[in-house]
Amino acid sequence: MPTQDELFAAVDALLAGVEPGPRLPDPAERVRLREAAGVTQAQLAKALQSTVQTVKNYENGRSAPRPPRLEAYVRLLEGWAAKYPSGATAPAASTVDEVPTAFTPPPPVPAPLPVQPAPTAPAPAADPAREAAGTTAPAPVPVSAAPPRRPTTDPGDEPLRRPARPAAPYFDGQFPNGPLAVLDGDGTAYGVGGLVLPCPATTLPQLALWALTESGLGTARLHRNGKDGDPLIVLTAEAAARFGLPATLDDDPATRRTQRLPEDHKVVKALARSKWQLTRRGFGPWARIYRPVKDGRRQCVQLAVLPWRALDTRAWGDADRLPAPDLARVLGIYAQRVITPRGSTATCGLELMTALRPPTRAVRDEATGGWVSGPNPGALTEVVRAAPPEVPAEHPAAQGWDGGFLDEESYQWIRPVETLSEAEMLEPFAVGIDINTAYLAAASRLAVGLSGPVHVHRPAFDRKVPGSWLVDLSHIPTDPRLPSPFTPTGRPPTGPAWYATPTVAYALELGHDVAPVEAYLREQSGAYLDPWHDRLREAYVTTMAEAGIPVDKDTDERAFLAAMTAHRLLKDAGEDLDALRRALAAEGLGHLAALEDDRLAAAAWRHHQIAMVLSAVKSTVKFGIGKLRERPQGLDYRPGEAWSALERPTWRPDIRAAVIAKARVNMHRKMANVARANGRYPLGVNNDCVVYASPGPGPLDFLPLTGSGKGVLPGTFRLGATPGLSKVEGVQSMLTVVDWLEGEQSINPARHIKGHDSTAVEGK
């Protein structure tokens, strides 16, 4: 079923008298051309910034790319067709020895086997995305050496290169040099794909002007009714000092509380003298510098100041300590797959929603025949009031309200120790499994409200209507060995309470009657989050595949576990390569342990960076959903006062509640299915992590398997790399977990299964 945007694009194309888009050759010809060029599916997937499975789908006719990938793919095929007409001989395959970053799964076997490395050929010289933009590759230039055993590029990567001056100005929509640059103290700006740009600016006004008029930086809009992305300049500590910025915002009492420069700072005053402006949040770690729109063109530059903690370690790890070229690579991958960073990952998650579903579009004025701005169907087009039970306690609508509040949150549940059987307590291991991007999986095809709430008394429940329902679910029996599906604490409800639609619908799914007392319902609804889900899902899966994790649905689960183990060991490796070799050998990954020092260090360094991108993508999902219910910030806030976030159409606590409710219901359904299949019950649940007693150290030791024993039973915690499937979170001895459960504070094993408090470390 085509989306509304696709239909509008096709209709607009017909009205303009053109075809909807470039035509692809038939699938067989696509395969022939690629093979004639001597390019593997993995190389093509990398060039198109896609996955191998997606390329397979293109070549067997199951799917076709969408713009802008479509134009790049067609251009590449046309170039190959000119070089290799029918009957041409394929060139010899490359034998370049590269760092192993991808793995081929071994054949299914009763026990896990080590995955085997699949060498890849070097990236093609021509970049289809750049060719589609009408630009050519500049000449190579040298780059300074990287730290010992931490190369800035992998063998086979394109060399750093200096581009020619952009042929078209920024506002012509041409961004030949990618979305961003990391500026070092010597005036060198490192861009995406190994680009090196000389930046002559010595003041921030000059830097803003250079970024807009000379750098060639920016990104094309993600939706035809949206806006092009502003260029991002990331300032290292040395670059910040060069432009007169303080080393930290924490030393001066004037900046410590607000985390932004005071208005009388010399840098802020210099920007004002040059007619540049700052947004209301001022000059902080993420500063937006702009001039008023001129001739319909935006004049805006985003700055990220690394020494001011612009990159939160909870999302980006130690990315701010990377050499500038490596940081440009990590941020560039995120920008190309998700969105150009413009603040915290929470801000990016929210901005991505708006970029993919802009609130307005151009519509024709029947009276004048001209074009005016109108609401975009399917988007959040205006600020709507929230219902009293949906808001946090400090919200103006909550003042004086005594009717109760919506409590749709993720699980924080500990199994009562008295419900553990002797057999469970004698198991040697406790294994934690984690659902991949649980909120993202819950957002898929989820109907949410597009309009304001309508108050209804004694409504008949309709699972298709999003909203908040006051209903009594306390009569529904629950097994004490499982958390209640209706509360985040896992304790059964004690009377009427407010619930989002997915929670009430699950009560019906379990076979129980519901009789809502009242409700706040949305008459207009739609799958608002679908484009957001699709883009983030593709970003997550593509990055997992880049780490060598098999992402195909039919991948053997043992191969997945082995590849995840290899990625974990490589990404967490320090400078002690001998320790890394021992760890790899102990996990049956001897082929990696046998690598030479340089290649092993390069593989570890690359996986370390891939892990940063994965962490940022997951953070964008989690905290982006949380941003829908952003609470007031600042020490001087008083309950009952409105705060700035309430002015956004995307301040929608009801949408956040619906996503979390669906994620929690999905978790309970899996746990209930495991209990029915093999009689095993969880020991604790923390957000999207659940812990079980196990006879062995892996999930296949306790999860219910199919009749053939080759995979986990559908409907339970299937193992895999895609959102909604599961992976190993951690392993502890069962004796340790029993001590946690029996202790005075009843420690949640799902929070500590990694050996530390994940909530404290990861900011969950």
In degrees and rounded to multiples of 5, residue 570 shows phi and psi of: -70, -45
The whole-number pLDDT of residue 255 equals: 87
* Segment 136-160, tens digit of pLDDT: 333 332 222 233 333 333 322 323 3
Q: What's the one-letter identity of residue 68?
A: P
Residue with the two structure tokens 């993202």? 440
Cβ-contact 561, 105 below 8 angstroms: no
Our measurement of the distance from residue 596's CA atom to the centroid of its chain's CA atoms, rounded to an integer in Å, reads 34
Q: What is the pLDDT of residue 84?
A: 84
User: What is the C-alpha to C-alpha distance for residues 454 and 4, in angstroms, rounded to an integer?
Assistant: 26
Question: Is pLDDT at 165 greater than 70 in this prediction?
Answer: no
- Whether the per-residue pLDDT at 564 is higher than 90: the answer is yes
Predicted confidence at residue 354, as pLDDT, reads 97
Whether residue 751 contacts residue 687, with contact meaning beta carbons closer than 8 Å, is answered with no
Residue 373 burial (CB count, 10 A) = 11
Taking CA atoms, 91 is separated from 34, 121, 720, in Å, by 11, 13, 36
* Of 263, 259, 270, 123, residue with least CA distance to 209: 270
Tokens of residue 118, six digits: 């699949």
Cα–Cα dist 600/608, whole Å: 12
Helix (H, G, I), strand (E, B) or coil at 176: coil
Least Cα distance to 724 among 525, 433, 529, 465 occurs for 433
Tokens at residue 301, please?
A: 């530059």
C-beta separation of 702 from 692 below 8 A? yes
Mean pLDDT of 367-371: 84
Contact assessment for residue 561 and residue 698, using Cβ atoms and an 8 Å cutoff = yes
pLDDT tens by residue, 206-246: 999 999 999 999 999 999 999 999 999 999 999 999 999 99
Pairing outcome for strands 360-364 and 518-522: unpaired
Give residue 6's pLDDT: 53
Cα–chain center distance at 479: 35
- Dist. CA 422–CA 272, nearest whole Å: 72
Are residues 51 and 551 in contact, defined by beta-carbon separation less than 8 angstroms?
A: yes
Q: Which tops the pLDDT comparison, 735 or 58?
A: 735
Instruction: Give the separation between CA 54 and CA 65, rounded to whole angstroms.
Output: 9
Q: Are strands 429-435 and 689-694 parallel, antiparallel or unpaired?
A: antiparallel
> Would the CA dihedral through 514, 520, 526, 532 be positive or negative?
negative
Residues ≥6 apart with Cβ < 8 Å to 229 = 179, 218, 219, 220, 221, 335, 339, 340, 355
CATH 1.10.260 intervals, the chain: 4-93
Q: Which class is 4-93 in CATH? A: mainly alpha
* pLDDT computed for residue 36 by the predictor: 85
Quote the pLDDT of residue 678.
96
Inform me whether the pLDDT recorded for 133 exceeds 80: no
- Residue 118 CA to residue 95 CA, distance in Å, equals 12
Task: Output the pTM of the full model.
Answer: 0.79
Q: Which residues are CB-neighbours of 745 under 8 A, at least 6 positions away?
A: none
Q: 278-310: per-residue pLDDT in tens?
A: 998 899 999 999 998 877 678 999 999 999 999
Q: With contact defined as beta carbons under 8 Å apart, do 526 and 445 qualify?
A: no
d(CA 374, CA 360): 5
Residues above pLDDT 90, as percent of the chain = 69
Query: Which of 201, 79, 187 has its CA nearest to residue 128?
Result: 79
Bridge partners, 467 (sequence order): 521
Q: Confirm if 729 and 686 have CB atoms less than 8 A apart.
A: no
Distance in angstroms (rounded) separating the CA atoms of residues 619 and 159: 31
- Model confidence over 695-706: pLDDT tens digits? 999 999 999 999
Q: How many CB atoms lie within 10 A of CB 361?
A: 18
Dist CA 290 CA 344 (whole Å): 19
